[in-house]
Amino acid sequence: MRYKRCPRCEINFILHEEELCTVCKKEIEQGLHYEEENNCAICGEQIAEDEIYCQDCKLEIDKFF
């Protein structure tokens, strides 16, 4: 499998054939912006102010790197 960064947020990794990450798709559907909230950039779960990802998503990301 090949991965690339989401072209909209440039944070999340997606499969090469996908257009947007799930977070960006959700934001577009709901008119949200993750920068305005303290949510995980991948799943949207609420996180600490200085974090980008929740613990579960960090573990998933670490599997790829």
Closest CA relative to residue 40, chosen from 56, 18, 64: 56
Q: Does pTM surpass 0.75?
A: no
* Residue 20: pLDDT over 80: yes
Cβ proximity of 35 and 27 under 8 Å: no
In tens, the pLDDT along 41-50 reads 888 888 888 8
Whole-number pLDDT of residue 36: 55
Cβ of 58: how many Cβ atoms within 10 Å? 14
Range of the domain at 47: 3-64
If one compares 27 and 55, the residue with the highest pLDDT of the two is 55
Domain count along the chain: 1
